[in-house]
Amino acid sequence: MITITVKVPREMLAKMDMLVARGVYPNRSELIREGIRLILNRHLELAERKYPIKESLREG
């Protein structure tokens, strides 16, 4: 995995820490990874519907 640095507002960090403390996520990193997965999946699904790949491009 690659490490990145992210700045977040204190209020957001407090909410993240609350979810970790309650056991919803094992740590901040996993919470952030899950958030990124959700955003990527949502946007990729929307992009696939709005901008479908032409068959000629799929074949390589």
| Mean pLDDT in residue range 2-8 | 95
**Domain containing residue 40:** 10-58
- How many domains does one find in the chain? 1
Residue 28 counted as domain residue: yes
Of the candidates 45, 32, 24, 41, the residue with the CA atom closest to the CA atom of residue 3: 32
| Mean pLDDT in residue range 7-13 | 97
Residue 18 counted as domain residue: yes
What pTM does this model have? 0.73
Residue 1 counted as domain residue: no
pLDDT given for residue 7 in this prediction: 96
Residue 5 counted as domain residue: no
Alpha carbons 7 and 25: distance in angstroms, whole number: 19
- Tens-digit pLDDT profile for residues 19-57: 999 999 999 999 999 999 999 998 888 887 787 776 555
- Which has more pLDDT, 44 or 9? 9
Alpha carbons 26 and 9: distance in angstroms, whole number: 21
